[in-house]
C-alpha cells in the first residue's frame, strides 16, 4: 500500500491501537501492522512526531517504564483521546460511506444494470 495512504488517518490509527492499553513506540508500530495484516507499515520517523503532537494536544499521556536495563516511553489514551477516537471513528464511517457511494453506486429503482 502506498505510504501516503494513511495520511489524514494516522491519528485515528494511533489512538485505536492504544485503546486497549499503554504501549511503547515499537509495540504501536507492531500493533498497526498486525491489525492491518501487514498492509500498513509505519516508520518510527512517522509515529514519534505524531505521538508527541497527540500528547501536546492532551489526547495521550506518556510515562517512562524500565524493562531490564532499557527504558521505554509508553503512551496511553486520555479521556480526551477516547473522545477524539470516537470522533475519528464517526468521521471514518461517514467518509467510507461517501466514497463507497461514488465507487459503487446503487442504480435507481427500475433501472437495469
In angstroms and rounded to an integer, the radius of gyration of the C-alpha atoms of the chain is 18
Q: Going from the N-terminus, what domains does the chain have, and what CATH number goes with each?
A: 3-94 (1.10.10.10)
Q: What pLDDT, on the 0 to 100 scale, is given for residue 3? A: 56
Write down the residue that cell numbers 501516503 correspond to.
4
β-pair type (60-67, 23-24): unpaired
pLDDT along the chain (113 residues), means of 10: 72 97 96 94 91 97 90 96 96 92 85 63
Q: What is the pTM of this model?
A: 0.85
Set of cell numbers at residue 5:
495512504
pLDDT value at residue 4: 65
Closest by CA to 14, choosing from 63, 61, 64, 77, is: 77
Question: Residue 69 burial (CB < 10 Å; 0-12/13-18/19+)?
Answer: exposed
Nearest in space to 71 (alpha carbons), one of 82, 63, 61: 63
Amino acid at each position: 500500500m502506498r505510504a501516503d495512504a494513511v495520511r489524514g488517518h494516522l491519528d485515528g490509527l494511533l489512538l485505536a491501537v492504544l485503546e486497549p492499553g499503554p504501549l511503547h513506540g515499537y509495540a504501536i508500530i507492531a500493533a498497526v501492522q498486525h491489525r492491518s495484516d501487514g498492509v500498513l507499515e509505519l516508520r518510527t520517523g512517522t509515529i514519534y512526531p505524531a505521538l508527541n503532537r497527540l500528547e501536546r494536544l492532551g489526547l495521550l499521556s506518556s510515562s517512562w517504564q524500565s524493562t531490564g536495563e532499557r527504558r521505554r516511553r509508553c503512551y496511553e489514551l486520555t479521556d480526551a483521546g477516547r473522545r477524539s477516537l470516537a470522533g475519528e471513528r464517526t468521521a471514518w464511517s461517514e467518509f467510507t460511506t461517501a466514497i463507497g457511494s461514488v465507487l459503487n453506486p446503487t442504480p435507481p429503482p427500475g433501472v437495469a444494470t
